[in-house]
Amino acid sequence: MTNPDWWRGAVFYQIYPRSFQDSTGTGVGDLAGITARLPYVADLGVDAIWLSPFFTSPMADMGYDIADYEGVDPMFGTLDDFSRLVDTAHSLGLKVMIDQVFSHASDQHAWFQMSKSSRDIPRADWFVWADPKPEGSPPNNWQSVFGGSAWTWNPRRKQYYMHNFLASQPDLNFHTPAVQDAVLGYLKTWLDRGVDGFRLDSVNYCFHDPLLRDNPPVTDWSTNDVPDSNAYGYQDHLYDKTRPEMLPFLGRVRALVDRYPGRATVGEIGDGPRSLATMAAYTAGDERLHMAYSFDMLGPGFSPQHMRGCVEAFDAAARAHGGGQSWPCWAFSNHDVPRHASRWAAAGRDWDALCRFAATLLLSLRGSVCLYQGEELGLPEAELAYEDLTDPYGIAFWPEFKGRDGCRTPFPWADRTGAGFTQAEKPWLPIPEAHRARAAATQMGRADAPVETYRRLLALRRRTPALIRGALTFLDWSETGLAFRRDDDAETLLCLFNFADSPAEYAPETGTVLTPLWPEAGAAQKGTVTLPPLGILIARIEAD
């Protein structure tokens, strides 16, 4: 972990602070609770944690609406609690990445309170303001991700302000140099506090088209990652995000981070059909982000063609944007999408076999990896009643879209009331019985349990350099099978994944011997390999 390139191939464990561990009996998780549970995370064998927002916030969007970028919300504790968390993580060999949400702020932030008061004061242009059309309507057709127009009227300024998300999340105006300087200033504050880097939320949303041109309509719905119940998905978002001005600003972010050896950045890219190309552009060379991930593997696609297509599309874009040096960060689940085990489940499919399959595939890909808390337990998406929802996105689009609360429920540590998460009578979100049955305490030490599978896979990855940085080459197999090699100077590995619900055979090259590394049991063999439904194999290729 002293290697400045530790992030290249690292595995990050995402912690959603509200839902990891409540140490105060409020029903809401906090920083002290996270600190107490870090030995569990370290024991899994990951390299770093990523903390979702814990900053001062009115919590209109569960902390992604920040009112003070340099403060800790009292709900989660204090700056001293954060310092203890960082120190404990470092003592356990874990790096600490924190969310940064600078495409927008809370409408309670002092900057916005000043900006909305007048057109003729300092910070008047720190947010995106625009005059109405002559008849008073918004300046263009841009839509909010969370529904409705991306513009809200302010009677004092007699202008509209832009918000890509909630009306209480006004967009910062990155065309104003002072805004860029302010953002870099608070990044420096957290670097000085000892964090090892940043996950940059909605990073391609920072800049907008200064001409405020209308977005054109979508022409290819097959590449749309927004549900058709949301009007946002009807536009091709050419002008309200992913603008070319972002690349020089990423250079400023990288220059700052590089002043702190061993720090890293990972960007979240939501750009529809252009996401993988944007990932590559944002990570090209050594002057932008270290790595990025998109939503391409966070959707319903579960097929060898989809997985291969994502990797090959990123690789092609990486070659186009910088000679292939861009670095991906892959994820199957996070706090914004239904848990992948539920997304990819099918009638009659073995749940734990699917969890093992997904874990092995994710940890075999070339790139860094994000694991989301609870996926190592094989948790399904929680089914919640409308009256239990807290997510404004889900509340707005229920029942066609149920929102993000189902993947944000508290972590089940034990199969008892409160699930070992809280002593409060009622946690902030319900804890399903199906989650308690898969609690960490019920799985620990059971060789066939998902959590033990993750632990052994992470150990295999750590001791197998070819799985971390080795080249990846796809091999043609079948419509229902994914095959690829991982090569480094020391060894060549064969990775096989049978997506089918029936057995499949793979014939390796003549004259090779396969020595299985995963599953652990298995003797070296020559000739055809037979994989059961959802069968997997990672084997060293050796000469006969």
pLDDT band at 322 (very low <50, low <70, confident <90, very high): confident
Query: What is the per-residue pLDDT for 453?
Result: 97
pLDDT in tens, 122-170: 999 999 999 999 999 999 999 999 999 999 999 999 999 999 999 999 9
Q: Which of 30, 201, 336, 405 is flagged as catalytic?
A: 201
Do 50 and 73 lie in a common domain? Answer: yes
Does a structural domain hold residue 314? yes
Contact 394, 404 (CB under 8 A): yes
pTM of the model: 0.97
Give burial (CB, 10 Å; 0-12/13-18/19+) of 329: buried
Does a structural domain hold residue 515? yes
Do 476 and 373 lie in a common domain? Answer: no
Do 449 and 481 lie in a common domain? Answer: no
**Single residue among 437, 461, 485 that ends a domain in this structure:** 461
pLDDT band at 461 (very low <50, low <70, confident <90, very high): very high
Q: Which of 22, 47, 81, 268 is flagged as catalytic?
A: 268
Do 499 and 447 lie in a common domain? Answer: no
**Per-residue tokens: 432:** 């399903």
pLDDT band at 474 (very low <50, low <70, confident <90, very high): very high
How many domains does the chain fold into? Answer: 2
Contact 266, 12 (CB under 8 A): yes
Does a structural domain hold residue 143? no
pLDDT in tens, 517-529: 999 867 888 999 9
Rounded Cα gap, residues 299 and 231, in angstroms: 19
pLDDT in tens, 251-293: 999 999 999 999 999 999 999 999 999 999 999 999 999 999 9
Q: Which domain holds residue 426?
A: 11-105+176-461
Do 55 and 88 lie in a common domain? Answer: yes
**Could you confirm whether 268 is annotated as catalytic?**
yes
Does a structural domain hold residue 154? no
- What percent of the chain has a predicted confidence (pLDDT) above 90? 94
Does a structural domain hold residue 114? no
Counts for the chain of helices (H) and strands (E), in that order: 14, 20
Distances (CA, A) of 459 to 91, 403, 518: 19, 35, 11
Rounded Cα gap, residues 320 and 482, in angstroms: 25
Do 318 and 266 lie in a common domain? Answer: yes
Cβ neighbors of 192 (< 8 A, separation 6 or more) are none
Rounded Cα gap, residues 431 and 457, in angstroms: 28
Rounded Cα gap, residues 139 and 380, in angstroms: 43
Mean pLDDT value across residues 386-414:
97
Do 478 and 455 lie in a common domain? Answer: no
Query: What is the per-residue pLDDT for 293?
Result: 93
Do 487 and 368 lie in a common domain? Answer: no
**Single residue among 410, 426, 461 that ends a domain in this structure:** 461
- What percent of the chain has a predicted confidence (pLDDT) above 70? 99
Query: What is the per-residue pLDDT for 174?
Result: 98
Mean pLDDT value across residues 10-30:
98
Do 457 and 536 lie in a common domain? Answer: no
SS (H, E, C) 23-76: CCCCCCCCHHHHHHHHHHHHHHCCCEEEECCCEECCCCCCCCCCCEEEEECCCC
The helix/strand/coil state of 515 is strand
Does a structural domain hold residue 324? yes
**Could you confirm whether 201 is annotated as catalytic?**
yes
**Per-residue tokens: 427:** 């946690």
**Single residue among 440, 461, 482 that ends a domain in this structure:** 461
CATH number where 502 lies: 2.60.40.1180
Does a structural domain hold residue 137? no
Do 514 and 378 lie in a common domain? Answer: no
Do 441 and 532 lie in a common domain? Answer: no
Query: What is the per-residue pLDDT for 308?
Result: 98
Do 270 and 314 lie in a common domain? Answer: yes
Does a structural domain hold residue 113? no
Query: What is the per-residue pLDDT for 141?
Result: 98
CATH number where 384 lies: 3.20.20.80
Rounded Cα gap, residues 168 and 65, in angstroms: 8
